[in-house]
Structures are given as structure tokens and as C-alpha cells.
Structure 1
Amino acid sequence: MIEHLRPTFALLGGLTVLTGLVYPLALTGIAQVALPGRANGSLVEVDGRVVGSQLIGQAFTGAKWFHGRPSATTAPDPKDPAATAEAPYDAARSAGSNLGPLSRRLVERVRADTEALKAEAGVATVPGDAVTTSASGLDPHISPAFARLQVKRIAAARGLAPETLEALIVAHTRGRDLGFLGEPRVNVLDLDLALARLDPS
């Protein structure tokens, strides 16, 4: 019996070493050589300090900054362990809101955000990504239309010409991949870092 099992265990051990150790280590080594930045999380450094990742959004606040799309990530409420509290862009808890299109809470939140943005920007409509969350809650990009919607607020807060901010958005807009995949988009972290370099105030 043992003679019959020995080849099985040898094969199991060999494949475990090959697929569980050799293969992952080889791929990790190739990635570190070929694409070290991406292999290590596409981290963004400023003056030797990591300020974020190009792959994960951040909760930028304040009138002087471009804001990302809403995030539905939550965390345990420190006041009530049985409940949850909003924790925008919490990468450890990536998730959507799970609220369906008939959810009153979702409809009211989207309506309130839409009206607030309309009043702030003085427009009649707002782009969808300005008031809806992504499935992960961590989307680092916004549409160029949403970025332009924020120009009036940022220009007033920083005392910059709107044309300057428009040019910044154009310079940081990434087109469709391969010319037809996805939609044009702007990485909010990149845009805000460029804004900080333009106007350090």
C-alpha cells in the first residue's frame, strides 16, 4: 500500500513546491525587475515620503482640492461595535454600498449630493460619477467632466484663473486604453499633486 502512495505523495510534494513556491517567487522576481513600481503598489512619493497610490483613491476634502467620487466603504463604529460608520476610501474594507436602485436612502443621498453640486457649480446637470460610488469604493479616477465641475470652487478658493485649472485637467486626462477601452479619466491624486505644485498655498 505504501508503495502505491509514495508516488502520490512525491507528486503532491513536488507540485506544491513548484506551484506554491517556485512559480510565485519567479513571477515576483520578474515583476520586480520588469515593473517595480507597479509590482509594489504604484506608490506615489513626494520628497521621499509616500503620499498614496495611483490605484487607490483618497478622501480629499476642503474647497482648495479636487475631490474624488463618493466612497461607500465603512468601518466598525467606535461608539457602537454592532454598527458601522462611514470610512471613505478605507482600502482594508473595499466594498460598495449594496443599496439597490429602489433604496430610499440611496435616492435621498444622490439627490442631496446632486443639488449641492448644482448649487456649488451653478450648473443644471452633474456627471454620474460625481454622485455615485464605485463598486470597490476605492476608485482613484474621476471623469474630466466631474473635474471641470469643481473648477469654479477651486478657482475661488485659491484665487486662480479657471483657465489655468482647465489646462491642468486637460494635461492630466488619460484617454481610452488602446483607443477604445474604458472612458477618459483623471487620477485625482495626480491632479491634486499638480495643483499643489502650481499653487503651494
Structure 2
Amino acid sequence: MDLRQRRRAETQRAIQSHALRLFVERGYDSTTVADVAHAAGVSPMTLYRHFPTKEDLVLTDQYDRLIAEQIAATPAAGSLVHRIGSTLVQVARIAVGSGADTAADASANLSDEGFLDRVRLMISTPALRARHWDSQFATQKAIVDAVCDDPADPDLEFRAWVAAAACLAAMNVALMRWAEQDGGPDLPALIADALSAAFADEFA
């Protein structure tokens, strides 16, 4: 990222950090966007430039881009399920701060200190649950766009949509278990276990 993009990302992280703190302390429905803007020391207009809706304060992250980049960088030799699932496990390592394996990952500061709070809010808040399931379409599309690079295979896009949906469903079950257990289990391992339960032959 260039300097301007870094500053924008830093502002977003600061606003989101204040939002999560207030949502946890006061409750999502009891906290207004104006409350978040005041706590973050920015105007409501500035907040809305970074987060167009209140739900975005919880759900916005960089993971769709990261998932797509990592899938595109993986060899296409393996099955779609294994390729997608392995990437989701690796991105989970980055999300919980244990997977900045490259200088690019580290410099992007993608580890998410508020990730557990975000998952808890997503599970417990009806409006966020609805938006989360809607946002899964964007994640699936990012995955499909990253793997559909073979024009000679007309069925690849269909199979990619199916594989992405199945892997994300397994990941969501793992996220719910992780949040229910207060973030105690190792999240990447839990996602790997969920993928193994769904696709024993691929993740034995």
C-alpha cells in the first residue's frame, strides 16, 4: 500500500476499534454511529466515508482480498476444495495473529485483535447475522474470480461456486464453535477439523 492507503487503513482500524469497544460495552443496538464517531474523534461524515453503514463497522475487513490473492498464488494442481479450504485455514492464522508468514502480511498489519469480538457480535446480533450471510456472496465471488483462470474448462466456474460455498459453510461452523468457547481453541485447527469433517478424503 502507498502512504495514502496506509493512512486510510489506519483510520479505518482506529474507528473500528472504538466501535467494537462500544458495541461490547453498551450493546450493538444501544450504540449509535454518532457515539462511535465521537469516541474515535472523527466527524460522522468521515466515519461514513469509511463505513457506509453501521453493520460495516463490524463486518468490514481485508480478508476477501487476502483470500483471493492467496488462492490465486496457490498451484492449480490440487482439488478446488483443498485449494480453497487450505487458504481459509491460512487466512485464519493471519486473522488471529499467528500467520504473518511473509513481509507483505506483516506490513499489511492484517492480524485482527478484535476478531473474536466481531465474530461474537455477528452471531448474537440479528442485523449482523443477516448482513454476514449476504456478505458471503462477495467472499464466494472473490474466490471464484481467483480460481476461474482456465477458459478451456467451461464447468470450472460452477464447480468453484459449489466448492467455495461448501468450504465457507464449514468455516462458519468452526467460527461459531470458536466464539462459543470464548476463543479458547486454536481457530485455524478448528477450521481444519471442520473441513476434515465435511471432506474427509481431502483433509485426512
* Normalised-by-shorter TM-score class: under 0.3
TM-score (norm 2): 0.23
Q: Name the structure with the higher strand share.
A: 1
Structure number with greater Rg is 1
Q: Name the structure with the higher helix share.
A: 2
